[in-house]
């Protein structure tokens, strides 16, 4: 009697597992179908990261020195935009690694944060005479998903390179400026 109850329980459990597997399979197919419909819909647009050779979204922004930075066609020089976030540990290491050993005299360097910066960031920028501004709007405009990230914009307003950064030395390795 005890064996028949165990056997019956195993059979019911097996049927239940097969049934759940079929439901999961159908559900997965429905999700794939739905995702395909959304992806091909003309009403839904997914923003992609900016690409090299693409026109950079133009903007004007003032830094902590009240100097205006203008990115777009006919700007004064090539610009290196470095996007950082104060809550990001990699950004903190990147800012801590800033050194005057590497000279980037032929390019304007501008840091953009999506939130207010800690005093340690601000003092580091001040010590190295680097411009920064807080602008979540520019983060959105450039569709920045991870930081620190650098985007190089030439004087004609086109993106010439994008870089994921770990240290200040990463910029020197790219032979920027």
CA end-to-end distance (rounded Å), the chain: 85
Check: CB of residue 83 under 8 Å from CB of residue 148: yes
d(CA 171, CA 101): 12
d(CA 95, CA 172): 14
Q: Does domain 59-173 have CATH number 3.40.30.10?
A: yes
Spans of all domains in the chain? 1-46, 59-173
Question: How confident is the prediction along the chain (177 residues), in pLDDT tens digits per residue?
Answer: 688 889 999 999 999 999 999 999 999 999 998 888 877 777 766 667 788 889 999 999 988 888 888 888 877 788 999 999 988 899 999 898 888 766 677 788 899 999 998 888 888 888 888 899 999 999 889 988 888 999 999 989 999 999 888 888 887 777 665
Check: CB of residue 167 under 8 Å from CB of residue 96: no
CA dihedral of residues 160, 166, 169, 173 (deg, nearest 10): -40
């Amino acid at each position: 009697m005890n064996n028949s109850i165990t056997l019956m329980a195993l059979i019911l459990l097996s049927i239940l597992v097969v049934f759940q597997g079929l439901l999961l399979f159908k559900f997965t197919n429905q999700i794939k179908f739905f995702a395909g419909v959304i992806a091909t819909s003309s009403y839904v647009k997914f923003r992609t990261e900016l690409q090299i050779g693409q026109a950079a979204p133009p903007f004007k922004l003032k830094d902590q020195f009240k100097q205006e930075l203008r990115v777009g066609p006919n700007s004064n020089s090539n610009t290196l935009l470095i996007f950082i976030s104060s809550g990001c540990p990699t950004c903190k290491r990147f800012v801590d690694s800033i050194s005057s050993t590497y000279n980037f005299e032929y390019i304007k360097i501008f840091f953009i944060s999506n939130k207010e910066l800690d005093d340690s960031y601000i003092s580091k920028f001040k010590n190295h005479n680097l411009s920064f501004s807080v602008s979540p709007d520019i983060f959105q405009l450039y569709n920045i998903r991870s930081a620190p990230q650098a985007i190089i914009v030439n004087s004609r307003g086109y993106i010439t390179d994008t870089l994921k950064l770990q240290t200040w030395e990463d910029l020197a390795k790219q032979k920027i400026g």
